[in-house]
């Protein structure tokens, strides 16, 4: 089930979640400008390539999904729900509004 969550909810949930996976669905170029640490990057703009790569992920994990502003990640969460993923969280506002920890 997908849920839209705020940064504060994201940081609170993820700090207590031993089953968390952070998924960045932006392009490689966007990732080069910075990212949330310990994420995996699968670009949603790859279309079928995105579906193929996501399909290989463990569906029993909890996925925390983000993009630049929250639009593509919401779309990714919907697709993942349709593919049978149990729990997906979409970061409202995306990376451009993120004020938590980042890496480059």
Length of the chain in terms of residues written: 104
- Where would I find the H helices in 1-104? 7-15, 28-32, 48-55, 71-82
> For the chain, how big is the Rg over CA atoms in Å?
12
Strand partners, 35: 103
Judge whether 67 counts as a catalytic residue: yes
Of the residues 42, 67, 80, 91, only one is catalytic, namely: 67
Residue 103 has phi, psi (to 5 degrees) of -135, 165
Strand partners, 21: 63
Active site residues: 67
């Amino acid at each position: 089930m997908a849920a839209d969550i705020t940064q504060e909810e994201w940081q609170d949930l993820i700090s207590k979640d031993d089953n968390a996976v952070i998924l960045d669905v932006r392009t490689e170029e966007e990732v080069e400008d910075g990212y949330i640490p310990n994420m995996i990057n699968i670009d949603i703009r790859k279309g079928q390539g995105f579906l193929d790569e996501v399909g290989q992920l463990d569906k029993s994990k909890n996925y925390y999904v983000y993009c630049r502003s929250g639009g593509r990640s919401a779309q990714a969460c919907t697709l993942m729900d349709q593919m049978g993923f149990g729990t997906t969280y979409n970061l409202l506002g995306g990376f451009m509004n993120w004020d938590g920890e980042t890496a480059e």
